[in-house]
Amino acid sequence: MLSLCALDWKPRLVGFFTDETKAVFRTNVNELGEIPVLEHGDMRLSQTGVILSYLADRTGSFAGRNAEERLEILRWILFDNHRFSSYFATLRFMVGLRKTGETPVTEFLRTQALASFAVVEDHLNRQPFLVGDRPTIADISMVGYRYYDEDTGIDFTRFPRMKAWTERIKALSGWAHPYDLLPRASVPATS
Amino acid sequence: MLSLCALDWKPRLVGFFTDETKAVFRTNVNELGEIPVLEHGDMRLSQTGVILSYLADRTGSFAGRNAEERLEILRWILFDNHRFSSYFATLRFMVGLRKTGETPVTEFLRTQALASFAVVEDHLNRQPFLVGDRPTIADISMVGYRYYDEDTGIDFTRFPRMKAWTERIKALSGWAHPYDLLPRASVPATS
């Protein structure tokens, strides 16, 4: 979002959390113990959906044009947090980064992720973006994890509409791969 | 929220989903395949956070008083969807309603739920409600599942601040237990 809006920003590396560093981060930065966090002047915002809403309001970019669109955008962002990126992100972390191998939990997460992907595939069969005919912060929230290609045991050729959607977002001016925008901490393999 | 705001509403029973009824529901009511859905005039809204935001805007009740509070409310509603009610709701469904017994998945869900409960317990140690000094839709979103007491293997005496918070919400005019507000469909046990 920051890059798509051509805003002046810089990332800050947050090292991979240990219990100790997480406690410090919770106390000093974000009690939820999560990234991302956006600092802007005196504001410190957390939760992707909050940050995107703030930036859309401030810039007018990727925002809803009326109350109805804003509610529809919120709907997809909530779905994203509940089922779309959330299950997939945990699956990717376990299978793709921590290399846990296949477990009942990764199977559960994959089943949940696939069910949410089917909803989005079906929706994108009817329209090019999630809300209306142009990209909004709903797309930006939801598309992020689609650019990570670590193996998660999911065959994405089953979702051609989602693939075309990621390409449409990728074609926007200012788009860059998340790995090229953010410093990366190494992830310890499971002991 | 509808009852706390003394609005004129009535619930409609949605039977427990089979693949077939879910397909019909998706096509005719909510493509996300989920309840709750609010119908109001020509509006049909889904996702609890959307419905609460709409009602707060319309009634002025339980709403944020300024942009900063509204972002803070959104932050907790997103946390609720991502980690607080979501993991617990699935755990309750499996262990408390479907009686699956203990599995690696229920253990995973319980661990996630407990981590999110610790965040809220800590927050409520500093203030009586989630945002500011009075109840908002953030509380209403998050407190709902706290009134279900099916066994989920979680010892809630570990969370006295959350308990006091549920009592504060329960004391509001118009509060009623969800089982007294909504018609209940039976849940088939696991085959």
Q: What percent of chain B has pLDDT over 70?
A: 96
pLDDT digits (tens, 9 = 90+) for B19-53: 888 888 999 999 999 999 999 999 999 999 999 99
> Is the predicted pLDDT of residue A171 greater than 90, yes or no?
yes
Residue in B76, B81, B91, B74 with CA at minimum distance from that of residue B151: B91
Asked if the C-beta of B75 comes within 8 angstroms of chain A's C-beta atoms, the answer is yes
Residue A33: its chain B contacts at CB < 8 A? 119
Convert the pLDDT of each residue in B131-170 to its tens digit: 989 999 999 999 999 999 999 999 999 999 999 999 999 9
Of residues B32, B67, B119, nearest to A119 (C-beta): B32
Q: How far apart are CA B181 and CA B140, in angstroms?
A: 15
Dihedral angle over CA of B143, B148, B115, B47, nearest 10? -50
Q: How far is B142 from chain A (nearest CA, A)?
A: 13
Can you list the domains of chain A with their CATH numbers? 67-170 (1.20.1050.10)
Q: Which residue has the higher pLDDT, B158 or B182?
A: B158
Specify the pLDDT at position A13: 85
Is A110 or A23 the better-scoring residue by pLDDT?
A110
CB distance from B22 to chain A under 8 Å? no
**B44/A contact by beta carbon, under 8 A:** no
Q: How far is B125 from chain A (nearest CA, A)?
A: 12
Query: How many interchain CB pairs under 8 A, A with B?
Result: 71
pLDDT value at position A191? Answer: 45
| Record: contact A78-B78, CB cut-off 8 A | yes
Inspect the interface and report whether the beta carbons of B71 and A77 lie closer than 8 Å: no
**What was the pLDDT predicted at A17?**
73
How many CA within 13 A on the CB side of residue B112? 24
- A182: exposed, middle or buried (Cβ count in 10 Å: 0-12, 13-18, 19+): middle
Phi, psi of A86, rounded to the nearest 5 degrees: -65, -50
Q: How far is B4 from chain A (nearest CA, A)?
A: 22
Q: Given its phi and psi angles, is residue A172 left (phi above 0), alpha (psi -120 to 50 degrees) or beta?
A: beta
78-97 in chain B: CB under 8 A from chain A: 78-79, 81-82, 86
pLDDT at B189 (0 to 100): 59
What ipTM describes this predicted complex? 0.94
Tell if the CB–CB gap between A123 and B50 is shorter than 8 Å.
Answer: no
Mean pLDDT of chain A: 94
How far apart (Å, rounded) are the C-alpha atoms in residues A12 and A1? 16
Calculate what percentage of chain A has a pLDDT beyond 70. Answer: 96
**Per-residue pLDDT, A163:** 98
Q: Is the pLDDT of residue B191 over 50?
A: no
